[in-house]
Structure formats: structure tokens, C-alpha cells
Amino acid sequence: MEGERAAVRTLVYLLVTLAVYLLLWQVLSVFFDWPLYYYSRLIEALALLLFAALACTTPMRFEEMGIVVPARVLLRSLALGGGVAAVVTAGLLFAARGQPEHAFSWHVTGDIARATYFLVAPFQEILGKSVMLYGFEIVTGRRGALSVLLSALTFGIFHVVYGIRMMLLSMLLMLLTGWMFHRERCVWGCAAAHFACGFLPGCFGFS
């Protein structure tokens, strides 16, 4: 019975969080011409409130959430994330070959979203995996593809302000890192893969 109540609470919290974000996006866009960066921070602020609500009213175990893991699991997860980063880098090098405008550069001056991405990527993965995916596991009562798919769809919807292309890319990223999380039950390798997929394309001049 307690498990069923926790599942209902979790589903309600997830739906309310998503509804509030979509409402705020519509209202704020009428009165303010905010850069997209601020909407990302809005997502994260609402997700923090969701995390707090879940922590107060549902059982949350950091081991199951992939935040606290044994050293061997952490190393396997980071190796998997590093492998994704290597594949992404190789693909970008191939796409940029012979094009001077796509030469690699670490330059991030003037773009706070990129300058802070080394913090944003792991934070978003904690929210995406340790809050949303874990929440959907409570709702569905099981681990597996359904929870991964639901969390990917939700994460994509949170990126609606960026347009359909970014929504789809966000969903694909969450499917990839969701598979990684399901495999190793560790959020930190997912964060490494997220950073590579979100940061490195800009280093090659791909938007």
C-alpha cells in the first residue's frame, strides 16, 4: 500500500512539475525576451523542487538513484561514458575534415551556458536519472525500457522552448544515457556522455 501511495505521489509531482514549467514558459515569453539559457535554469529550479518533494514524501535511496556507487561501478560507468565521448569526438572530426570553419577550439568566451556546462551536464543527469527516471521506476514499479522511454519523453518536453530539433536530440541523448544508467546504475558515466554530446559539437562550430 505504501508503495502504491509513493507511486501516485511521484506521478502527480512529475505531472505538476511539467505543467508548471509549460505554463511559466508561455506566460514569461509574453512579458520577457529571455535568452534560452534562463529557461534551462528554470527547468533545473523546478526539478530541484521536485527532488525535494520526492525526498520528503517517498523513499529515496542514493544507491538506487545511482549517486552513491561502489568504486568498480563508478569506473565501469566512467569508462562507458568515455567511450561515448570518444565516438562523438571521432564523428565530429570526420564531419569537420577539410573545413577550416569547423576547426576545433575550446573558446567559450561570452557564452555562459557553455562556460558552465561542466557543471550543468552532471546536474541535468542527476535530475534526468536520479529524479525523473527513478521517479518513473517508482510509478511503474519496475526498472526497464518503459521508465527510460518515459524519462526521455519528459526530458524532451522540458526542452520545448528550444524547438522540435532540440527536443528530439534531447530525447535521443536521454535514451542513450538511460541505457547506460540501466546497465551500470551510475549517473556519473551518463554525465560524461552528456557533456561530450552537448559541449563538443560547439567546439567544432556545429550548433
Q: Is residue 65 exposed (0-12), middle (13-18) or buried (19+ Cβ within 10 Å)?
A: buried
Q: Enumerate the domain spans of the chain.
A: 2-59+71-203
Which of these, 60, 69, 35, 76, lies nearest to 180 by C-alpha position?
Answer: 76
Provide the pLDDT confidence category of residue 83 given band limits of 50, 70 and 90. very high
The residue that leads in pLDDT, 58 or 67, is 67
> What does DSSP assign to residue 63?
T
Instruction: Provide the pLDDT for residue 81.
Output: 95
Q: Judge if pTM exceeds 0.85.
A: no
Instruction: Provide the pLDDT for residue 178.
Output: 92
Mean pLDDT of 98-105: 81
**pLDDT per residue over 5-24, tens digit each?**
666 777 788 888 888 888 88
CA-to-CA distance for 116 and 41, rounded, in angstroms? 12
In this predicted structure, the answer to whether residue 175 has a pLDDT above a threshold of 90 is: yes
Instruction: Provide the pLDDT for residue 1.
Output: 53
Instruction: Provide the pLDDT for residue 91.
Output: 92
- CB proximity list for 166: less than 8 A, separation 6 or greater: 159
Provide the pLDDT confidence category of residue 121 given band limits of 50, 70 and 90. confident
Percent of the chain residues past pLDDT 70, beyond the cut: 91
The interaxial angle of helices 164-184 and 71-96, nearest 10 deg, is 150
DSSP 22-52: HHHHHHHHHH----HHHHHHHHHHHHHHHHH
DSSP 129-151: IIIIIHHHHHHHTS-SHHHHHHH
